[in-house]
Structure 1
């Protein structure tokens, strides 16, 4: 059975660092045997079809291929359409009434428990808020991510040590659900 996936690459094409041209990423995914390959934006979003049902193995294979091709490591999460759709459906914030820049999802390589976030005083950041989901964190930042003090606090490497985390704004979350639909 073929499954549609999104590959979420962390930290590429930001500020001129870790440049991965999307045409080359598409070519690399095809070389790995994937079909229906497409990319979205320049910030590390690719979609593809695969017979494999192992998201972790798919991500590891793509990470290795990127390192061989480009000479640097890129953390990569691969998620199925079903997972991406469930994350969008489970959003605890009123996504339909917000601008895409106000809502973000941080995807994690594994489940994150509330104990990791115990050091964050959520009340100190109101009206900004976050909620945990299934291997995801939803962030409501009414003034956008660039001005978000809560996003800055959540971005501390010590909070998610040992876990791959990569964020997408709500517009991208919705688009990836659409692009991975069969």
Structure 2
């Protein structure tokens, strides 16, 4: 089997004092699973690695189980290979080169998303904020940042994401993960 580069996106860790997963402990945990070239980025749950076994879904399940065993709590994990990460950057519907990283975010989903899932959200009501869908991601333009975004609050309502794992990253992190998996 061919060795591929991946990024693991851990959801909801190291936020507000709960679900602490130190990156210094995460790296050897991933290496212990037989993953190569393990690196972490920031403290918000981003790791890159190479693997010659599994696929995105099975690797995500394997990492989630290992994290729960090691740290004693469940953590949702989304895994994307380099090609998937790069396609998200290449398909960005907003002028990323002209925006600050805090203004543009990508929410990665564990499965496909369709416009019908978000039909109840009227982007015009939140202008100038806006969003667009990709196959397994949502692009959010929030000119004042995610923390002040009323549209982000609407898009993260539990009913809209039902049945899917979702985790967001700012544009700087999105681009950095492409770089890290492309090396």
What interval of TM-score do these two structures reach, taking the shorter chain for normalisation? over 0.9
Alignment of 1:14-25 (within 5 A): 14-25=15-26
Q: Which residue of 1 aligns with 2:84?
A: 83
CA RMSD of aligned residues (A): 0.7
Q: Paired residue for 1:62? A: 63
What is the rounded CA distance, in whole Å, between the counterparts of 1:17 and 1:180 in structure 2? 28
| 1:92 has 2:89 as partner | no
Q: Between Structure 1 and Structure 2, how many residues are aligned?
A: 182
Partner of 2:137: 136
* 3-state SS of paired residue (1:120): coil
| Uncovered stretches (5+) of structure 2, i.e. residues with no partner | none
**Structure-2-length-normalised TM-score:** 0.98
In structure 1, how many angstroms separate the alpha carbons of the residues matched to 2:128 and 2:57? 35
- What is the correspondence of 1:21-60 to structure 2 with a 5 Å cutoff? 21-60=22-61
Corresponding residue of 2:14: 13
SS of aligned partner of 1:12: coil
Whether the aligned pair in 2 keeps the contact of 1:107 and 1:167 (CA below 8 Å) is: yes
Task: Give the conservation status (yes or no) of the 8 Å contact 1:3–1:53.
Answer: no
Secondary structure of 1:46's match? strand
CA contact (8 A) 1:122 1:129 kept: yes
Distance apart, 1:14 and its partner CA:
0.3
The equivalent of 2:181 in structure 1 is: 180
Q: CA deviation at 1:121?
A: 1.3
What are the Cα deviations for residues 71-90 of structure 1, in whole angstroms up to 9, with x where unaligned? 10000001000000000010
**How high is the TM-score relative to the length of structure 1?**
0.99
Give the match for residue 155 of structure 1: 156
